[in-house]
Amino acid sequence: EPTPRLWSLLGDLHFMRKDYAESYEAYRQSAAMDTTSGRPLLMMGYCAIQLEKNEDAISALERAVEYPDERGKANQLLLALKQLTGEQ
């Protein structure tokens, strides 16, 4: 039976293979099943950046900022992404 951890591991496998679309979907499933971890949201942001889906990346990263363990990296990525896209 699928679990948040299983979806996250699947996302990691796809990410290592640079299959960012499949990875994004696996992390999305993980995030939907477990709201206690911000890592799937952070990883969704990374994947969306690779897929050049900036709005999806910003959305995921803004949610990841809410988690203390992910806040620093998510803020760094948000700042860089917003500078690249000219958003404030």
Kindly report, residue by residue over 29-76, the tens digit of the pLDDT: 999 999 999 999 999 999 999 999 999 999 999 999 999 999 999 999
Three-state secondary structure along 73-87? HHHHHHHHHHHHHCC
Give me 47's structure tokens: 């994947």
Q: What is the pLDDT of residue 88?
A: 59
Q: Could you tell me the CA-to-CA distances from 34 to 21, 37, 51, 53, 72 in Å, in that order?
A: 20, 7, 24, 23, 21
pTM: 0.92
- Residue 3 confidence class, pLDDT cut points 50, 70, 90: very high
13, 20, 25, 68 from 1: Cα distances, Å: 18, 23, 17, 29
